[in-house]
Amino acid sequence: MPTMDQVNIKDKTFALSIPESDILQAVEAVAQCINRDLAGQDPLFVCVLNGAFMFAADLMKRIDIPCEITFVKLSSYSGDSTTGTVKEIMGLNKSIEGRNVVVVEDIVDTGITMESILRSLRGKGARSIRVATFLQKPDALQRDITVDYVAMQIPNDFIVGYGLDYDGYGRNLKDIYTIVK
Ligand code: 5GP
Ligand code: MG
């Protein structure tokens, strides 16, 4: 997809807010921190589908230490507002016992999803659990969770692109677009 000034998805209009070059620079910075912090620790990345697939792909290409990746699938959003309930659609199929886990998320908004992921990972014998998120909306956070790596912080507006969707669409956009009110 080329970069556009605006995109229409269903009934909504979105304007370009973060171009791909800025995204990739921020991903590179997170990768460098992880390469440094987790050197020699054989990290296991747990990518939270669907939204984090694109961030996870770009992040993994920049990880230069031995590591593994596995996937879990959750859903918490319907349309453009959070429902507050988190459903596990595809659980962990790999042991995290003794592993240094890095949860890879697209965005931490209220923190409800991340809190529930961390709750389900705890008690499974991981040596450590860290969180890497592509985006964070600090003004929306309602839970007491620690996010170890944040690529970019954004205002409390609905965005699409780079893996994030509006009603299933827009995940293929390589740039981030913000809803036009
Ligand atoms: P939380 O549970 O932290 O409120 O929300 C986390 C999930 O909501 C994210 O994994 C993401 O799927 C979705 N989400 C939160 N904010 C946005 C947004 O601005 N755009 C899109 N497309 N999804 C969002
Ligand atoms: Mg997500």
CA 103/CA 25 separation, integer angstroms: 20
Please determine, for residue 75, whether its predicted confidence score (pLDDT) is greater than 80.
no
Against a cut of 0.75, is the pTM above it?
yes
The catalytic position among 37, 42, 80, 109 is 109
5 has catalytic annotation:
no
Largest CA distance in the chain: 49
Pocket test for ligand 1, best of 113, 131, 147, 171 (most atoms within 8 A of CB): 113
Residue 93 lies in a domain: yes
Domain containing 58 — which CATH number? 3.40.50.2020
Q: H or E stretch including 128?
A: strand 128-136
pLDDT of residue 102: 98
Which two structure tokens, joined as six digits, stand for 159? 């965005």
* Total of domains in the chain: 1
Cross-strand bridge partners of residue 48: 72
Residue 27 lies in a domain: yes
The per-residue pLDDT for range 161-175, each reduced to its tens digit, is 999 999 999 999 999
Q: Which domain holds residue 28?
A: 20-154
Residue 29 lies in a domain: yes
Residue 59 lies in a domain: yes
pLDDT band (50, 70, 90) for residue 84: low
Please determine, for residue 105, whether its predicted confidence score (pLDDT) is greater than 90.
yes
Please determine, for residue 55, whether its predicted confidence score (pLDDT) is greater than 60.
yes
Residue 170 lies in a domain: no
